[in-house]
Amino acid sequence: MAAKLNPAAVEFARSLIDEGKYRINTQWKIAAPSQAQAEGLLASQGWDEFSRWFLVVDETSGDAASASLPIGDLKSVHRSGLLAAQTVARGAGQTDVVDAAQDLIDWIDRFNAC
Alpha-carbon Rg for the chain, nearest whole angstrom, is 13
Q: What is the pLDDT of residue 24?
A: 95
Q: What is the pLDDT of residue 114?
A: 61
Q: What is the pLDDT of residue 58?
A: 84
Q: What is the pLDDT of residue 2?
A: 72
- pLDDT truncated to tens, each residue of the chain (114 aa)? 578 999 999 999 999 999 999 999 999 999 999 999 999 999 999 999 999 999 999 877 767 778 899 999 999 999 999 999 999 999 999 999 999 999 999 999 998 876
Structural element, H or E, at residue 55: strand 54-57
Whether the predicted model's global pTM rises above the 0.85 cut? yes
What are the extents of the domains in the chain? 4-111
The DSSP secondary-structure symbol of 29 reads: H
Distance CA 77, CA 70 (A): 9
